[in-house]
Amino acid sequence: VHMSSPEPISLGLAIAGAAASALTGIISYPRLYCYFRECCLHRHDRRAAAALQESLDEKLFGQHLVSKVVVKAVRGFLNNTNAKKPLALSLHGWTGTGKNFVSKIVAESIYKRGLQSKYVHQFVATLHFPHAHSINLYKDQLQSWIRGNVSICPRSLFIFDEMDKMHAGLIDSIKPFLDYYELLDGVSYRQAIFIFLSNAGAEKITEVALDFWRNGRTREDIQLTDIQNALSVSVFNNKNSGFWHSTLIDRNLIDYFIPFLPLEYRHVKMCVRVEIESRGYTVDEDIVSRIADEMTYFPREERIYSDKGCKTVDAKLDYYYDF
């Protein structure tokens, strides 16, 4: 029997049709589609909360309040199908205590690509809003950026770094998005997450930590209630803070003020060990101690807290290991 070969055009159409139906099949199953392409709220809410807890337990040191509050706040928010407002967290403490690190972990727990996700947006005050005379322009740009991105993905994550260097009044432009509105011009912001990072209030946090230490109590005895109110008042009244007299604080739109305690010698050693392991090397306790000893500590008399937290651990390791 003579079989005629298919015409090139009909063969091409058949292949295109098969490809189209395969694509339709992928799109019909969101999970499958999201395996190949990043989707808004990529991970299931429960998985996101579990990933967050696991990462904080493994990689964050000396911050019992942070671990407890961040996990509770994020888990509760992600599982709430009827949130009345976006989640707003304000992270405070000295450099190197883990603020950027925690915002990175939150991003990674919700989106596989973390800070590289197209649904995660970072603003750095000195980079994105450098000029005081352009504040009105920045306000318009900020509102447009948030409105546009939440329209595309309701579960957008916005991270504002260096709030202590932001021009006062600028952050108030996002107040409508953080408030209890169901819709603003047809857009709901209730699933979005806002994280603010600041050094403002660090003195107040250290003051509380030192009081506990001087009274013979451990840092783990410190409760959020021992710091939170004093911290929010301190930040609100700090003229060098982007939150100075901010309506976000005045109207109670920040859900949690989260204190990052200054890190002690033992915490610095923990950071060094984890960094060595992450580079695939065997931990040498002699090098761990030498790096921790090189850090400078305060107050001058007691020398309890590292003045840079764990920030320079990375660079110091490069010196000791010929990576």
Backbone angles phi, psi at 193, to 5 degrees: -125, 130
Q: Is 94 annotated as a binding residue?
A: yes
Residue 1 C-beta-side C-alpha neighbours within 13 Å: 2
Q: Is 17 annotated as a binding residue?
A: no
Q: Is 95 annotated as a binding residue?
A: yes
Distance CA 166, CA 126 (A): 7
Q: Is 59 annotated as a binding residue?
A: no
Q: Number of helices (H) and strands (E), helices first, in the chain?
A: 14, 7
Q: Is 309 annotated as a binding residue?
A: no
What is the distance between the terminal CA atoms of the chain, rounded to a whole angstrom? Answer: 70
Residues in the chain: 323
Q: Is 96 annotated as a binding residue?
A: yes
**Three-state SS at 88:** strand
Distance CA 206, CA 219 (A): 11
The residue type found at 85 is K
- CB 66, CB 56: distance < 8 Å: yes
Q: Is 139 annotated as a binding residue?
A: no
The residue type found at 18 is A
Q: Is 98 annotated as a binding residue?
A: yes
Known binding residues are 93-100
Known binding residues for ATP are 93-100
